[in-house]
């Protein structure tokens, strides 16, 4: 179901245009109910791209003096008032948004202010657990992330060792769940952040080269020096440690990262300022 019936009768109109071939009177259907342009409850067999408690990248269909209207898979577009925007929305651009029920209008309203919709109570996460992250905002402290489409967390700026941007989808690991509900997140498995500098330099080089580095313990010292600015002795010691931690594999002519980095999803222009 969608928006509440606001006191209307139990009988709700399902327009003929939403009927599918083979449907007959008496059939049981799953529908989404919303208010049409004339404030009447209407049912549709169309499936919205987003619902309460969920988040999605939606494209702006139009903008007028009261706000923006986003395409969410229904004939009537999702309204985002100017008061919910963190920047001017532009037609044709996509934004990460959630929805909430506006108590005054009893309508579903979109918002790019992701943090206000995330749950920070009854957190069901374990330290060290691998989670899915969506980076939705950058602050002086670091990057605010959405965890498993449910919770809000923070990756501290001084613990970011590879390029990330608002809009990126990646994996992360729970570092700490605080008593006040705040969650600290690491982009790498716990323990990686404290490894020695030469190992960190190798991991950074792997991230820059999509997880593959054309160096191995058989490489010439000058090749290692040119690529990493370290001696072969230090290089072999560092990759040995990374291999024992199961962070890399060592091939004949290259080393490969075991930690998989996801490609970013969605536009990169979004800069929330909650």
Domains and CATH numbers, the chain: 1-114 (2.40.50.140), 118-186 (2.40.50.140), 195-257 (1.10.10.10)
Distance of CA 33 to the CA centre of its chain: 27
Distance of CA 61 to the CA centre of its chain: 22
What per-residue confidence (pLDDT) applies to 22? 77
- Predicted confidence at residue 97, as pLDDT, reads 93
Per-residue pLDDT in tens (0 to 9) along the chain, 274 residues: 455 444 445 677 777 777 778 777 777 777 777 776 666 777 777 788 888 878 999 999 999 999 999 999 888 899 999 999 988 999 999 999 999 988 887 788 999 999 889 988 889 999 989 999 999 989 999 999 999 989 999 999 888 877 888 889 999 999 999 988 899 999 887 765 556 778 888 888 888 888 899 998 889 999 998 999 888 888 998 999 888 888 899 998 999 988 654 334 444 444 444 4
Half-sphere exposure (CA, 13 Å, Cβ side) for 107? 18
Tokens of 264: 């970013």
Which residues pair with residue 20 across a beta bridge? none
Q: Tokens 């004949």, residue?
A: 252
pTM score = 0.58
**Who's near 54: CB < 8 A, 6+ residues apart?**
98, 99, 149
């Amino acid at each position: 179901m969608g928006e509440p019936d606001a006191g209307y009768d139990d009988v709700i109109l399902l327009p003929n245009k939403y009927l599918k071939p083979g449907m007959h009177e008496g059939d049981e259907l799953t529908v989404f109910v919303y208010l049409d342009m004339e404030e009447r409850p209407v049912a549709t067999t169309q499936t919205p791209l987003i619902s309460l408690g969920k988040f999605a990248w939606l494209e702006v269909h139009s903008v007028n003096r009261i706000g923006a209207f986003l395409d969410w898979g229904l004939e009537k577009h999702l309204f985002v008032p100017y008061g919910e925007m963190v920047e001017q929305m532009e037609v044709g651009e996509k934004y990460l948004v959630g929805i909430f029920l506006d108590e005054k209008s009893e309508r579903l309203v979109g918002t790019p202010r992701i943090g206000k919709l995330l749950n920070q109570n009854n957190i069901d996460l374990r330290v060290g657990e691998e989670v899915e992250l969506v980076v939705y905002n950058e602050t002086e402290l670091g990057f605010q992330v959405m965890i498993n489409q449910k919770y809000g967390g923070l990756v501290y700026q001084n613990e970011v060792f590879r390029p990330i941007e608002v809009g990126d989808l990646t994996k992360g690991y729970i570092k700490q769940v605080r008593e006040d509900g705040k969650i600290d997140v690491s982009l790498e498995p716990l323990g990686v952040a404290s490894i020695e500098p030469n190992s960190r330099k190798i991991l950074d080089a792997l991230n820059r080269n999509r997880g593959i580095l054309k160096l191995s313990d058989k490489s010439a010292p000058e090749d290692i020096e040119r690529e990493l600015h370290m001696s072969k002795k230090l290089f072999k010691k560092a990759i040995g440690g990374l291999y024992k931690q199961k962070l890399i594999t060592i091939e004949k002519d290259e080393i490969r990262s075991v930690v998989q980095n996801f490609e970013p999803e969605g536009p990169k222009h979004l800069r929330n300022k909650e």
